[in-house]
Chains A and B, each alone.
Chain A
Amino acid sequence: MRNYEIRVGNLFLREPYGGKKMIPKNIADEFDQCIKCGLCLATCPVGKELFLEKFTPRGKIQLAKHYAAGDLEISQHYRDIFAKCLLCGACSVTCPSGVELKEVLVGMREEIVKKRGIHPNLESAIKSLFVNHNISDEENNERGDWRDDINELPDHMYERELAEVVYFVGCVSSFFPMVQSIPQNMARILEAADVDFTILSGEEWCCGFPLIGAGAPEKMGELIEHNIEQVKGLGASKMVFSCPSCYRTWKEYYKTDLELFHSTQFIQRLIKDGDVPMGELHQTVTYHDPCDLGRNGGIFDAPREVLRSIPGLTLVELENNRAQSICCGGGGNLEIADPDLSASVARNKIEEIQRTGAKTLVTSCQQCVRTIKGKVRIEKVDLDVLDITDVVVRAMSDA
């Protein structure tokens, strides 16, 4: 009759990894750790939208395992599956068994690039990254163009020979008009607090973050070296980033002794020291934790402290906040690989925001602002989407 190998009670069998070592052992270890309980399905925004098992984190772990064991090839289909992921890390924090899903997901992207090259939708962006040193089609010397709209721009135009603090603007805020207010705000805040800071302007190159999600982190070397070199001669001891992904990339991939801050942390300090005068702002807002700042960067309190320090402002939390925050749809290069899916995730996020009743959403990442604001505009939703620096500047104006 039936002959099952495993006949021992009600059992979570974790088959030992017996596959050919086609991918590094540290990732393979994670397969054994997955007990297929499915709890990660509850938090994956992609799995919830596409629901077929292959699109869920549990399914992807299985696909990685069977690739490692040598019984699945990296087909076109296989690649498309792994591209449908935000690298938001929600699965990793849900997993009770401690599977480092994000490691596997990023690791598999690298493996896929090795076997089949960069994803076709990303190819041109990556190419121009090495030509222009940014993720837009524009030349890198236009990186400082956000300054054009600033009245009373100082003569040095924030480019100094020596400075205590380097403000690393990041590609998205530098080149996309929708979010250029972020560096403009940052300059205003830093100036108001008399911070001795500089920007790198045309010598700032992309931090390399897009290459991690594209599965080609080994290509980051050139960018890292250049950026480190640029910062060196400035005599700086601190760096500030308004982009959470730049911040994390520097923390994890750059070897530097400089003190690194996300803008929310830096501004929180300035406010605490009384360096930024805060006026009243009578408004109810809700706050979206960007994946790379919150869950993946561990910064939850700084932005909330900043908001709380504004008299009159009321913060209502989203249903899923802090580590449970749901991705806006802008992560993992998904916007390029599958724009429709990214838009669906954004729509779900907006619905969650609307359930709070707040008419203003605050976040602290230019990419989240772009994704959510873009969708809000298309669907004509009555929602104001702001970066936290927008809010701080508004409060300052009333001081």
Chain B
Amino acid sequence: MIIDSIKDEFRQIVGDEWFLDTPEDLVVYSYDGFLPEFKPSGVIVPGDRDEISKIMGVANREKINIIPRGAGTNICGSSVAREGGIIIAFHRLNKILEIDRESMCAVVQPGVVNADLQKAVAGYGLMYPPDPASMFVSTIGGNVALNAGGPRGVKYGVTRDYLLGLEVVLPSGEVINTGGKALKNASGYDLTRLMCGSEGTLGILTEIIIRLVPLAPARATLQAIYSDLDDAATTVSAIIGSGIVPATLELIDRTVLDVISDYGGARFSKEAEALLLIEVDGEESLVEAQGKRIEEFCKERGAVQVERASTPEEAEKLWQARRTAFGAVASLRPNCIVEDATVPVKMLPAMIRKIVEITKKYDLKIGVLAHAGDGNLHPLIMTDLRDREEMARIDKAMEELYETAIGMGGTLSGEHGIGIAKDRFMGMEFNEASIELMRGIKRVFDPNNILNPGSFL
């Protein structure tokens, strides 16, 4: 509980309208895409950096937890008041401050929606590559705090690779600036990248400088259809191993295809056991040549058929349908566990075989979806939480899955983060010394542990 006089202090900072504590407001800021609910004591919606700084000053003095929240689409439970406190929401900080064509960068506020940025920079012939499936809703602040990735990661990398600088309000209320518009920077510790993926536990991002790249003049989207999942997986590692770098290389299995194939008028092949959704981009002639090579590659490795989307609209429909895969699969049974284990790409076929094996061994229903080109798997485990016996089997299956992934040189999470979803598995990936070091970093930034407490540490 937070006493009224402190609430009043918050109200004075942002204005009555932007401090919310009605029962209705509290209930709608109690969840994120992970679903367990934690009701906050209030929601504050600041209008600028100075207000945020003042808010943190009060919170630090009174030891009140503050939990940053973008669009609340994360699926690891990292934007909810896990240990109580006040949600700070960035709805009003939604401006693109600058698009600097000469320096190929943009300066944005944290609440800008990824797709809005994409659209704005496309008008300048530029592209912001990270494209999480949640891009039409998730914010750049949330993307940075979770180091979001997306299908284009194969060729272009993830959020971290496009981060040039930040303005950050520390838990004490002090403001720091990290990095800048320069593409290179070798001064001091890399605080910019430390903030990236910090799950809102170290500071509040108030301005973000991101790098842009030229918009590819041409692109082609192909779907390669397989009657065998293993053939599709080996094609992936073969393509990457051969030095061709497609912009995206997604793998979708039968189970997932069944539920997304008709979304929004998309036309996916209905016969496939597995499908690779591949996009190549670049100069027209290169796209042509690469498209052909990939087509041959797929056919040599067992693809029954390779189809090319004939118009950009048709291609966009396929991608749009792909983006709905989580939700669509989740509608099949009461619950759906989205896995995010990631392995080096040459291990992909082995990892997929392992998933198939685990599915059988523990008698589960799992759909396979993967940002295959960078080894990032999203097995979708369909279940019913109320079925305790099945949940126990899932628990074992996941442990085996992580052990395998980490044993292959992979990680617990490619892009979804740890939060409260996987905190108990941290010990598998990090030894005690590493975790203690992270705790130390947290203490330096946030001695009172008021910023998004209850995370993976």
> Which residues in B have their C-beta under 8 angstroms from that of A13?
34-36, 335, 385
Chain B contact surface mostly: loop
**Interface residue? A63 (CB, 8 A):** yes
CB distance from B442 to the nearest CB of A (A): 15
CB distance from A357 to the nearest CB of B (A): 15
**Interface residue? B211 (CB, 8 A):** no
**Interface residue? A38 (CB, 8 A):** yes
Please measure, in the bound complex, the distance between the C-alpha atom of A72 and the C-alpha atom of B24, giving whole angstroms: 8
Please measure, in the bound complex, the distance between the C-alpha atom of A36 and the C-alpha atom of B36, giving whole angstroms: 10
Within 8 A of A (CB), among B411-430: 413, 416, 420-422, 424
Please measure, in the bound complex, the distance between the C-alpha atom of A5 and the C-alpha atom of B77, giving whole angstroms: 13
Within 8 A of A (CB), among B323-350: 323-328, 330-331, 334-340
**Interface residue? B31 (CB, 8 A):** yes
> Which residues in B have their C-beta under 8 angstroms from that of A378?
none
- Check A12/B34 contact, CB under 8 A, given A2-B83, A38-B134, A54-B28: yes
> Which residues in B have their C-beta under 8 angstroms from that of A59?
28
Please measure, in the bound complex, the distance between the C-alpha atom of A15 and the C-alpha atom of B334, giving whole angstroms: 8
Binary contact readout A1-25 vs B (1 if CB under 8 angstroms, 0 otherwise): 0101111111111111000000000
Contact of B72 with A11 in the complex, beta carbons under 8 Å: no
**Interface residue? A337 (CB, 8 A):** no
Binds B, one of A75-83, A102-110, A164-172, A304-312: A75-83
**Interface residue? A340 (CB, 8 A):** no
Contact of A78 with B24 in the complex, beta carbons under 8 Å: yes
Please measure, in the bound complex, the distance between the C-alpha atom of A378 and the C-alpha atom of B416, giving whole angstroms: 47
Contact of B27 among A16, A52, A62 (CB under 8 A): A62
Contact of B328 with A10 in the complex, beta carbons under 8 Å: no
CB distance from A166 to the nearest CB of B (A): 35
Contact of A9 among B72, B136, B421 (CB under 8 A): B421
- Check A52/B45 contact, CB under 8 A, given A9-B339, A12-B330, A62-B28: yes
Contact of A53 among B28, B33, B35, B325 (CB under 8 A): B28
Contact of A38 with B137 in the complex, beta carbons under 8 Å: yes
Please measure, in the bound complex, the distance between the C-alpha atom of A339 and the C-alpha atom of B52, giving whole angstroms: 33
Binds B, one of A92-100, A211-219, A260-268, A275-283: A92-100
CB distance from A252 to the nearest CB of B (A): 24
Please measure, in the bound complex, the distance between the C-alpha atom of A163 and the C-alpha atom of B381, giving whole angstroms: 60
> Which residues in A have their C-beta under 8 angstroms from that of B134?
37-39
> Which residues in B have their C-beta under 8 angstroms from that of A10?
34, 75-76, 337-340, 413, 416, 421-422
Please measure, in the bound complex, the distance between the C-alpha atom of A212 and the C-alpha atom of B138, giving whole angstroms: 34
Please measure, in the bound complex, the distance between the C-alpha atom of A39 and the C-alpha atom of B73, giving whole angstroms: 9
> Which residues in B have their C-beta under 8 angstroms from that of A98?
328, 331
Contact of A37 with B33 in the complex, beta carbons under 8 Å: yes
> Which residues in A have their C-beta under 8 angstroms from that of B310?
none
Given A38-B138, A54-B24, 6 new contacts (CB under 8 A)? A11-B385, A11-B421, A14-B385, A32-B334, A36-B32, A53-B29
Give me the interface of A with B, judged by CB distance under 8 Å.
Answer: 2, 4-16, 32-33, 35-39, 41-42, 51-54, 58-59, 62-63, 66, 71-73, 75, 77-78, 81, 93, 95-98, 323-324
Give me the interface of B with A, judged by CB distance under 8 Å.
Answer: 20, 22-25, 27-36, 45, 71-73, 75-76, 82-83, 89, 91-92, 94, 115, 134, 136-138, 260, 263-264, 323-328, 330-331, 334-340, 381, 385-386, 391, 394-395, 398, 413, 416, 420-422, 424, 454
29 A-B residue pairings within 8 Å (CB atoms):
A2-B82, A2-B83, A2-B454, A4-B420, A7-B420, A8-B385, A11-B336, A11-B421, A12-B336, A32-B334, A37-B73, A37-B327, A38-B33, A38-B71, A39-B136, A39-B137, A42-B136, A51-B91, A52-B45, A52-B91, A54-B28, A62-B27, A63-B27, A71-B27, A75-B23, A81-B24, A96-B260, A96-B327, A96-B328
